[in-house]
Amino acid sequence: MHMGDEAKVFEKDVGTWDADVEVHPAPGAPSVRLKGVSTNRLVGRFLVVDYSADSGFEGHGFYGWDPAKQRYTGAWIDSMQECIGRSEGSWDAATRTMTFETEATHDGRAIRYREITQTRADGTQLYRNIVKLPDGSDFEMIRTVYRRR
């Protein structure tokens, strides 16, 4: 199977990654630090992500290029969400940054958040999960640094 140029962006993500996670549950609340492991592989044109944290949290996702939408798309499930999170995004080659807008349900209500993953010059990846607060400002709920094993 020939991998389209759009899907080749995921080749850099393949492998096993150690994660240093900082979760900010709410503005002003103390942060929680966790360790995790992400094992990523390609299945055809799709990146499949299997993630687990030392807290017992577990998540699984798949991401790829949707030629019909002309956008990157993905889906995520985890041990805290009530439904499948669905994402659409774009790749910025200049900054080596993938940005997804994700919709899911939490505590019975629809939520939206932005997921930004930047591949940095030192080979690490910086993941940021950003939610909008009621006043419209951005709040970084999760910040993770991934280091390849």
Closest CA to 72 of 59, 47, 93, 91: 91
pLDDT single digits (tens) 37-53? 999 999 999 999 999 99
DSSP state of 6: G
Say how many domains are in the chain.
Answer: 1
Q: What is the CA radius of gyration of the chain?
A: 15
Rounded CA separation 145/149 (Å):
13
Closest CA to 7 of 65, 51, 59: 65
Query: Given a cut of 70, is residue 2 above it in pLDDT?
Result: no
pTM for the model: 0.93
pLDDT at residue 3, as a whole number = 55
pLDDT single digits (tens) 107-140? 888 889 999 999 999 999 999 999 999 999 999 9
pLDDT at residue 14, as a whole number = 97
Domain extent at residue 126: 5-148
pLDDT at residue 105, as a whole number = 84
In the chain, how long is the greatest CA-to-CA distance?
Answer: 49
Stronger pLDDT, 105 or 95, i.e. the higher one: 95
Stronger pLDDT, 4 or 122, i.e. the higher one: 122
Query: Given a cut of 70, is residue 1 above it in pLDDT?
Result: no
CATH number, domain of 29, equals 2.40.128.20
pLDDT at residue 130, as a whole number = 97
